[in-house]
Amino acid sequence: MTRRQLLKIIEEGENLTVEFKQRFSSYEKIAKELIAFANTKGGIILFGIDDNKSIYGVRSEKGENELVKIAAKQYCEPEIDFETEYINVNNKEIVVIKIPESQNKPHRIQDYRGRLDLNTAQVYIRVNDKSVPASKEMIKILQTQSNGKGLKNYGLGKSEKIALNYLETHETITVNDLCKAGNLSKRRASRTLINLVRANLLFIHTKENGENYFSSSI
């Protein structure tokens, strides 16, 4: 990344793939950002930049990188890969942490459990310019993205048809909407919508509060 490219990114502000940090705060908070980027589209964290785009620089660029390395290795499960660049802007060192989209989703805050527990796992995704908790539905979809288990030749059952019929007169549908429309349990409604996403018949969207809704992909 060139100095000019960096300045352009700073000017455009935080977004889906860019996060500013004036300095390293805590391992848990940085792990949260690393996880959100890895679970979504990837992105960069700029250390030495405030939320208002002010350029402060860091005291020790290599020290900052070592702290991120600890967060990625010891506070993320699975461990997250990243690359580092150091760029000088107005005699101030900026640390650029590049996180690629992971092929091993979902990442979570290290909980020292052998397997991911949907009820307790702290999984994050990126929504607009924020890192937010992923819902159970999103976590399950991330799992299928990682293992490549899409649904092919998926046969539509009664609950699936109810969901698609609902979307003929509504722009979006939620788990609760499907529960009411089909008199279904929350578990069955959730599983139905997840399967429709896996079959590429629906898109899943996440609000900044972490809640999900679904829309037709047709």
pLDDT digits over 10-53, tens only?
Answer: 999 999 999 999 999 899 999 999 999 999 999 999 999 999 99
Residue 77 in 3-state DSSP? strand
Same domain, 102 and 178: no
**Domain enclosing residue 34, as ranges:** 3-133
Q: What is the pTM of this model?
A: 0.86
What pLDDT is recorded for position 173? Answer: 95
Query: What percent of the chain is modeled with pLDDT above 90?
Result: 78
The residue among 155, 197, 153 whose CA lies nearest residue 173 is 197
Question: Residue 206, Cα to own-chain centre: how many angstroms?
Answer: 10
Same domain, 103 and 160: no
> Are the C-beta atoms of 9 and 44 separated by less than 8 Å?
yes
Same domain, 21 and 126: yes
How far is it, in rounded angstroms, from Cα 207 to Cα 193? 17
Domains in the chain: how many in total?
2
- 177-196: average pLDDT: 93
